[in-house]
Structure 1
Amino acid sequence: MKNHAATVAEWWRTVSLYTDQTGANISRTVLIAGEYSDRKYSQGSELSRLTVQQVIANSVKSAPFPVEHKNGVYLILTSEDVRMQDFCRAVCGFHYFTFPSMVGYTLPYAWVGNSGRQCPEVCAYPFAVPAYMKGGGMGAVEAPNGDVGVDGMISVIGHELAELSSNPLVNAWYAGEDPTAPTEIGDLCEGLYGTGGGGGYMGQVMRDGKGRTYNMNGRRGRKFLVQWIWNPLIKACSGPNALD
């Protein structure tokens, strides 16, 4: 299957369909405004949901790292040797907002970890599969960039950025009755990557000449496999590689 029109930008257009209370849409443009590297592991290699906020606090104190209250979101990525509270057991990523008492500001943020050494069969699926699936059913597929841990992170990053943008302070868009345990626009489509997906089947995706699996194209020839998200107009999961 080939679909050269399936792009990361087209995937994000679905996110931009969501609006705030004033009716303004989420921006179609996402820019990296700054980066901060905590190479010395200031909070150690075992993090909690509180200590990760201290990492953010350190970053906003390091000029010229920008602090943007209105249009900015903060993404924390950790390497494969860093352990996070509930990682692999309950989460592959999460989003929340910082506490002014810790960071000095209320800033929406998301965390995503590299599961390559810890639980690729959980957080880098379908590039790795649980042992019980190896005897039958769908086997692991080839990661589009050749790195199971990082390729797995990319889909989780998309998931969390979409939810962070549509529900930044955990009081905006979600499904279900409980705002403390919301089902958000990524949760509704987890495991779906193409048309016909569901019930453990990822859906129809693409493969390149080396057998690597992807469903959208990035810049400079990059390819990615990123889960679909909930489309508020058609009230169904959708992605740029949809066949219908």
Structure 2
Amino acid sequence: MGPVLASPINLYVIWYGHWNPTHQSTIRDFLYSLSSPAPYPSVADWWSTARLYTDQTGSNITRTIALSGEFYDSSYSHGNSLSRLSMQSIIKNAVTSHPRALPLNPRNGVYLVLSSSDVRVQDFCRAVCGFHYFTFPTLVGVTVPYAWVGYSGSQCPGVCAYPFAWPKDSGRPPPGTPGGNTIMRAPNGDAGTDGMISVIAHELAEVSSNPLVNAWYAGDDPTAPTEIADLCMGVYGSGGGGGYVGAVSKDRWGNGFNVNGVKGRKFLVQWIWNPVKRRCFGPNAMD
């Protein structure tokens, strides 16, 4: 078993491309919510499941995630068609661009690259909505965990922002047509952003429990190791699975959510594997 992120995390966000400030504010509030009090069930309550994972010394994943810096790569420093490996070069650029470079923090830093709607990324929409890994010293200078998540609102909302958009092959009519408005409404008003938040949560849980890709995997089949969020994709409430998100709440406007955040925000975040209960779990569970 490898390490987990047991020390308080300094999270550094790299906004790659052109971003809508409203979408940025929603994402920031989610990140602030990870370590801030809010009415139950809260984002911090959701993170408590991730905290159940320990390293070889018995130290749990940290409860503290601080948004410690932001870098705006609005010039598309590496173009608008990126490979997976490009993320490391984007991080390198962010920590060396003076005068407003991010700190290079191998001790307790995690770097989160968020790409805008017009950026194409290798395997995005086809195989992944986000991923995590660690940097190579030959490229960045140190080994540090990072994650990438793309904005899917215009490229593939039915893939990466479900249940706020129907998959293309679902047979459902598009929104605005008869029968097409039965899709769950996004709690913060934008399917791409709200869908992205669940993917960010997914990747943060996995990068914290498996930062060097040699630590925690979930499930009961040792021959098919799956990371702690991958096993629960598409499950947001009790009874979820097979395309059904599970039992979640609706606000007075009918927007779906399962956790509360700062400033009265509400979010819909997928469950993760609980190693004690040995099942997918979230704070909105009915059992």
What range describes the TM-score normalised by the shorter chain of this pair? over 0.9
1:43 to 78, 92, 100: 78
Q: Look up the match of 1:27.
A: 62
Unaligned runs of 5+ in 1: none
The reply on whether 1:132 has 2:175 as its aligned counterpart is no
What's the CA shift string for 1:89-130, capped at 9, x where partnerless? 000000001111111111100000001111000000000011
1:182: Cα distance to partner? 4.5
Amino acid aligned to 1:57: K
Amino acid aligned to 1:197: G
Q: Look up the match of 1:10.
A: 45
1:174 to 207, 214, 217: 217
Q: Look up the match of 1:192.
A: 235
1:77 to 110, 114, 117: 114
Q: Report percent identity of matched pairs.
A: 64
After superposition, where does 1:53-202 map in structure 2 within 5 Å?
A: 53-62=88-97, 65-133=102-170, 134=172, 139-175=182-218, 177=222, 182-202=225-245
Whether the 8 Å contact between 1:33 and 1:66 is mirrored in structure 2 is no
Whether the 8 Å contact between 2:153 and 2:161 is mirrored in structure 1 is yes
Spell out structure 1 runs of 4+ moving beyond 3 A. Answer: 175-178
1:19: Cα distance to partner? 0.8
Most deviating of 124-133 and 89-98: 124-133
Whether the 8 Å contact between 1:129 and 1:139 is mirrored in structure 2 is no
Q: Distance in 1 between matches of 2:115 and 2:225?
A: 24
Q: How many equivalent pairs are there?
A: 238
Whether the 8 Å contact between 2:94 and 2:101 is mirrored in structure 1 is no
Q: Distance in 2 between matches of 1:177 and 1:68?
A: 34
| TM-score, length basis structure 2 | 0.79
Structure with a larger share of its residues in strand? 2
Classify 1:64/1:132 alpha carbon distance in 2 versus 1 (closer, same or farther; 3 Å): closer
Amino acid aligned to 1:24: S
Q: Look up the match of 2:258.
A: 215
Q: Distance in 2 between matches of 1:217 and 1:23?
A: 30
Q: Distance in 2 between matches of 1:19 and 1:8?
A: 20
Whether the 8 Å contact between 2:125 and 2:156 is mirrored in structure 1 is yes
Q: Look up the match of 2:20.
A: none
